[in-house]
Amino acid sequence: MPVKVDLQNDDGFENLPAQDRFEDWVEGSLQDSYEQLEQTIRVVGEAESRDLNRRFRDQDKPTNVLAFPGDAALLDYDCLGDLVICAPVVAAEAAAQGKTGEAHWAHLVVHGMLHLQGFDHQDAEQTREMERLEIKILDTLGYTNPYNE
């Protein structure tokens, strides 16, 4: 299944994982089959992340990943929505958690993609199911359990 990732990095953040890694993570997280999927991932700074988090989640702080489900009925191709990932938050979290940057990017892309597919973590049961899926997907992609590090 062809996956195309529109990686938007308007602020020119350096040291991002390679384009093909993002495509691997998106494809690896899919729970359904798609003929061709086009996925937008926007990499932002803390100010934009904070603004979006405040406007859409009523939280006045930057966050690692935001998922905005799309309306596929409006498009003539498969698209689950948009992911917005805050590069400075990813770097700070990876350092604080003793993870490699790439492993944390992989986790957040998988996490966000699961949100776009309807998974959530509003209660303990949902959290267990989502974490179980994340661990399984990340293992398949060659990464360790992000919750054990």
What ranges do the domains of the chain cover? 3-140
Residue found under tokens 């996490």: 111
Residue 115 has pLDDT above 90, yes or no: yes
CATH of 3-140, one of 3.40.50.720, 3.60.20.10, 3.40.390.30, 1.10.340.30: 3.40.390.30
Indicate whether 2 pLDDT > 80.
no
* pLDDT mean over 70-98: 86
What single-letter amino acid sits at 9? N
Looking at 9-110, which runs of residues are DSSP E strands?
A: 37-44, 65-69, 81-86
Q: How far apart are CA 77 and CA 67, in angstroms?
A: 19
pLDDT for residue 34? 80
* Choice between 121 and 90, residue whose per-residue pLDDT is larger: 90
Q: pTM here? A: 0.93
Residues in the chain: 149
The top-scoring range by mean pLDDT among 3-7, 62-66, 68-72 is 62-66
Give the C-alpha separation, 136 to 36, whole Å.
23
Rounded Cα gap, residues 119 and 99, in angstroms: 24
Mean of pLDDT values over 91-118: 96
Average pLDDT over residues 103-114: 97
User: Encoding tokens for residue 143?
Assistant: 């990464």
> Tokens 């199911």 — which residue?
129
Question: Sign of dihedral through CA atoms 9, 13, 18, 24?
Answer: negative
Contact 13/105 with Cβ under 8 angstroms? Answer: no
Average pLDDT, the chain: 92
Which is higher by pLDDT, 1 or 67? Answer: 67
> Residue 76 — pLDDT band, cuts 50, 70, 90?
low
Predicted local distance difference test score (pLDDT) of residue 29:
95
Average the pLDDT over 108-125 and give the result.
93
